[in-house]
Amino acid sequence: MLTEGDLQALPRLIVKDLAFRYRDRQSLAIQDISFESQAGEILLIAGSSGCGKTTLIRCVNGLIPRSYKGERSGSILINGQEISDWPLSKISQYVGTVLQDPERQILGTRVLNEVAFGLENLGMSRAEIYERVDEALVYLKISHLRERETFNLSGGEKQKVALAGVLAMRPSVLLLDEPLASLDPASAQDTLDMVRQLADEGMTILMVEHRVEDVLRIRPDRIMFISDGRVRYLGDLRGLGQVVDYQEVKLPVDMILARAAADPQPIEFKPLPGGQLEAGEKPEPLVSFKDVAFGYDADVEVLHGINLDIQRGDVIAVLGPNGAGKTTFVKHAIGLLKPKSGQVLVGGRDTHDASVAQIASMLGYVFQSPSHMLFAQTVHDELAFGPKNLGHKEDQITEEVKEALRIVNLIDKEQDPPLALSFGQQKRVSIAAILAMRSRILVMDEPTAGQDYKNYMNFMDSILQLPGFESILFITHDVDLAVIYANRVLLIAEGRLVADGPPQEVLSDFERLEACRLVPTSLLRANVAQVARTGYFMRAEALAHLC
């Protein structure tokens, strides 16, 4: 029998010789994974989408092999005890998990009910449940959401509510699978500060995250890099920079500049060939907002007096804090919402007079959560659905599907079930489904959420070189995505259009950015320092060749 002193001396988590193969797959998802993690440690787990990070998390929290079937070998010990025979109810008292997609985790209709759900299943008294719920909400600074309906929360708010439900269980090991994916930069910093505090209070934290630069600010104790299901590196940041391809994992800009300068200079390309204007051409706006106001409730306005035009050739980044009205604004452009006052014109036609299906031939929309879009049995059927409904010919559909799969690097997944893929891969399928429709305007809500750096750079490069799109609009919390790809930036805060202009003008005002809960990145700062010389913003690989 282990004494209290023995337990304190043991690593909180021990993983030894772990391997797993999903029942419907031929190859191992992970193999030969061994490591230990101590109380109070933050272990950052990085790697490309589909490399095995989420599979590792599912093994530690017991979902493998209980919910995800297959062949598992090796051992996992919590506080020195093997968990293979524990029921999920027991594991959940020691291991808490916040999933990549909060939509999959939230079951309650109200925030109070959602945070209390796990506690109720443990049979706790009402008084203790309320105490723990309120403690978790206060800890995350979201007490004001206590009585809100979960359906009406923003993606970032849902992420915080999901985390509150886990913290209320008071686990000793916390697993975070892409916790920053739906958060604006300031909220991400708040979350990371909270993670650091939890670790300092003794919690063991494993964090899967593509936003490596953001996590480095809270000094993770170690970084694990996984590739093709194997641990390729486990150690400190300095060693990571020596073994990882800077084009695969997003590193701080100073590390990229030092290495990219030795590589060939990247080829610049002109974005959106389909949006190029002829000399002297003055086309009509593709989309116009004319004094648009909207509210979900009769007495509460969410958008206030939005006026702007979307023109051919625009690559627009929409930035702003969680709950600012960005998604509400975009849903007006695609006709999912109609203004309470003012007008939205798509191709000169008032959206009040057009159906969503009619607008879809003009604008294709990629939802923030792929689970809101994906339904077909195979990736191929998912991508073919839209073009079929738009009346495209069969041979044309075949070509459109293959081209879309190539762009998002999923050619080998054509016959796979979409919902069996990783979150990052699902996100790429949802983007490919819109690419295949060949709409004139591509609209994306958080296109890089859950994506590794290499994949999102590749598909953004490919998308911007497609001849069919005349304009692209994307909502993002990734400031660097706006720096690299946008030629126009919209800042939205509290339902108002705060700024509209070229990125080198809008993003250089750091005081305004911070007021909109945006945090200047190392790449943005490097560009601002050089913009008088360059005249526009550039990716790090191009900046490296300025000197």
Neighbours of 343 (CB within 10 A): 14
- 350-363 pLDDT tens trace: 999 998 888 888 89
Whole-number mean pLDDT of the chain?
89
Helix axis angle, 155-167 relative to 111-121, nearest 10°? 30
pTM for this entry:
0.80
Per-residue pLDDT for 55 more than 90?
yes
The predicted pLDDT at position 468 comes to 72
- 17-48 pLDDT tens trace: 999 999 988 899 999 999 999 999 999 999 88
The predicted pLDDT at position 427 comes to 80
Residue ranges, CATH 3.40.50.300, the chain = 269-358+443-451+475-547
Q: How far is CA 432 from CA 49, 275, 365, 446, 449, in A?
A: 16, 20, 11, 14, 15
Q: How far is CA 165 from CA 118, 144, 386, in A?
A: 7, 15, 37
The residue among 323 and 333 whose pLDDT is bigger is: 333
Class of the domain covering 269-358+443-451+475-547: alpha beta
Region 341-351: mean pLDDT is 95
Q: In whole angstroms, what is the distance from residue 180 CA to residue 168 CA?
A: 20
- 80-128 pLDDT tens trace: 999 999 999 899 999 999 887 777 788 899 999 999 999 998 889 999 9
Neighbours of 495 (CB within 10 A): 21
Confirm if 114 and 157 have CB atoms less than 8 A apart.
no
